[in-house]
């Protein structure tokens, strides 16, 4: 590999700052530019992160020939527009999760990536992390026998703000899209591994949930059944405190991953708890990493993009997985009567 990636950050909110900090530790790329809806926002971000190519529009960022890759960190409803435009500008794209509002939009983004020969990945960073690789290895080696059931949740109690992106319908509010996408993607990964595949979708999806005053889900659960009989029970919330863990129950033992979705956030030590058989003591497997979660994902993405790959290697979030995840989230939302403008869009 004889080059590194020059990154541009598109939208300068909360997670963009985390990304910029993590990128500083990367060996495969550096931050060179940022685009914001306002010049003031771009300049502020530039000052914080030490860059001078600061643009007062997203399009101006895409027009910068020095930029090789774009990190999209707008609220979810804007992902599709800017991912398609970034692909047309021939930039590689790491797009925040959920990649889109709907499976239709996710497919449009994949089509744009294909047509423009660029690398695209949905930013489920945990997919690139050694803790996830270790968990896959345990399942493949039948550490807990045959996987029968999965329980996972991701939720928090956020201050109610009807105009904020977690509650506002126009901004894609609700727990299912914001963080329910994590247990959905992780349970589908475990189900796939248990079936000796790389990507599976449930055959049956049922769900209940509570829609709040702004019309989006504030807490919700889905129960899903896969082709081999495996059952996954997932919950999410923006108005309930959850432990954000993953549990896998097998025919001979069980696994608990306390920090499945954001392991070793700034580097450190992750834990996988395994009870191999019956009522034997839980054993702890530790997974240490020097680098932050985001840096590991950034470097994984960059290595593929710089090698000319359009997709990252499995278990990184590949295109079929991304579209399947979006499709299953569509089904979860449909069960609880949560519809967005994007569901009605035709173009
Ligand atoms: N991977 C993770 O761990 C993680 C964590 C948190 C969030 N996320 C994802 O990242 C995305 C952004 O989340 P965030 O928490 O960073 O959100 P945020 O703090 O609200 O920032 C979003 C940014 O998007 C831009 N934007 C464009 N149109 C907007 C509009 N109509 N209203 C508000 N902002 C608008 C703004 O940047 P400018 O003013 O610069 O244009 C804003 O600062 C979401 O899709 C979310 O799911 C991922």
Q: How far is the CA of 168 from the centre of ligand 1 (A)?
A: 13
Q: How far is the CA of 275 from the centre of ligand 1 (A)?
A: 39
Q: What is the mean pLDDT of the chain?
A: 97
* Angstrom distance (rounded) from CA 35 to CA 67: 11
Q: What is the pLDDT of residues 29-85, one digit of tens each?
A: 999 999 999 999 999 999 999 999 999 999 999 999 999 999 999 999 999 999 999
Pick from 9, 10, 12, 14 the residue to mutate for probing ligand 1's pocket: most ligand atoms within 8 Å of its CB.
14
pLDDT value at 13 more than 70: yes
Give the pLDDT of residue 137. 98
pLDDT band at 279 (very low <50, low <70, confident <90, very high): confident
Provide residues with CB under 6 Å of ligand 1: 11-16, 36-37, 41, 73-76, 78, 96-97, 123, 125, 165, 171, 178
One-letter-per-residue 3-state SS of 55-121: ECCHHHHHCCCCCCEEEECCCHHHHHHHHHHHHHCCCEEEECCCCCCCHHHHHHHHHHHHHHCCCEE
State which ligand 1 atom lies nearest to the alpha carbon of 177.
Answer: 47
Q: Are 10 and 61 in contact (CB under 8 A)?
A: yes
Minimum CA distance residue for ligand 1 atom 21: 13
DSSP conformation letters of 207-263:
EEEEE-TTSSEEEEEEEEE-TTS-EEEEEEESBS-----EEEEESS-EEEETT-SST
181-186 mean pLDDT: 98
Q: How far is the CA of 280 from the centre of ligand 1 (A)?
A: 45
State which ligand 1 atom lies nearest to the alpha carbon of 170.
Answer: 31
Q: How far is the CA of 76 from the centre of ligand 1 (A)?
A: 8
Minimum CA distance residue for ligand 1 atom 18: 13
pLDDT band at 346 (very low <50, low <70, confident <90, very high): confident
pLDDT value at 111 more than 90: yes
Give the pLDDT of residue 347. 64
Give the pLDDT of residue 2. 54
Q: Are 248 and 254 in contact (CB under 8 A)?
A: yes
Q: How far is the CA of 12 from the centre of ligand 1 (A)?
A: 7
**Cis peptide, bond prior to residue 98, ω within 30 of zero:** yes
pTM score: 0.98
State which ligand 1 atom lies nearest to the alpha carbon of 12.
Answer: 40
Q: What is the pLDDT of residues 255-267, one digit of tens each?
A: 999 999 999 999 9
pLDDT value at 345 more than 90: no
């Amino acid at each position: 590999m004889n080059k590194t990636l020059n990154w541009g950050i598109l939208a300068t909110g909360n997670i963009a700052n985390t990304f910029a900090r993590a990128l500083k530790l990367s060996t495969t790329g550096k931050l060179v530019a940022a685009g914001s809806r306002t010049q003031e926002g771009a300049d502020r971000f530039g000052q914080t992160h030490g860059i001078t190519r600061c643009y007062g529009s997203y399009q101006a960022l895409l027009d910068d020939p020095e930029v090789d890759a774009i990190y999209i960190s707008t609220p979810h409803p804007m992902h599709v527009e800017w991912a398609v435009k970034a692909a047309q500008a021939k930039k590689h794209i790491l797009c925040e999760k959920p990649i889109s509002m709907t499976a239709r939009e996710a497919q449009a983004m994949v089509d744009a990536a294909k047509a423009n020969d660029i690398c695209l990945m949905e930013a489920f960073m945990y997919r690139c992390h050694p803790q996830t690789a270790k968990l896959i290895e345990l399942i493949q080696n039948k550490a807990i026998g045959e996987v029968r059931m999965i329980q996972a949740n991701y939720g928090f109690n956020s201050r109610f703000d009807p105009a904020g992106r977690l509650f506002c319908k126009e901004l894609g509010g609700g727990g299912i899209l914001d963080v329910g996408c994590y247990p959905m993607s992780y349970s589908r990964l475990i189900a796939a591994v248990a079936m000796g595949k790389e990507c599976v979708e449930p055959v049956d999806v049922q769900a209940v949930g509570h829609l709040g005053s702004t019309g989006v889900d504030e807490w919700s659960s889905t129960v899903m059944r896969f082709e081999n009989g495996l059952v996954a029970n997932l919950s999410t919330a923006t108005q309930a405190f959850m432990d954000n863990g993953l549990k896998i129950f097998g025919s001979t033992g069980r696994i608990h991953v306390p920090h499945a979705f954001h392991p070793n956030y700034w580097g450190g030590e992750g834990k996988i708890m395994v009870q191999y058989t019956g009522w034997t003591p839980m054993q702890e497997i530790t997974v240490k990493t020097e680098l932050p979660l985001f840096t590991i994902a950034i470097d994984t993405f960059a290595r593929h993009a710089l090698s000319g790959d359009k997709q990252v290697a499995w278990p990184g979030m590949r295109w079929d997985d991304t579209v399947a995840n979006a499709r299953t989230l569509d089904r979860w939302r449909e069960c609880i009567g949560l519809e967005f403008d994007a569901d009605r869009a035709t173009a």
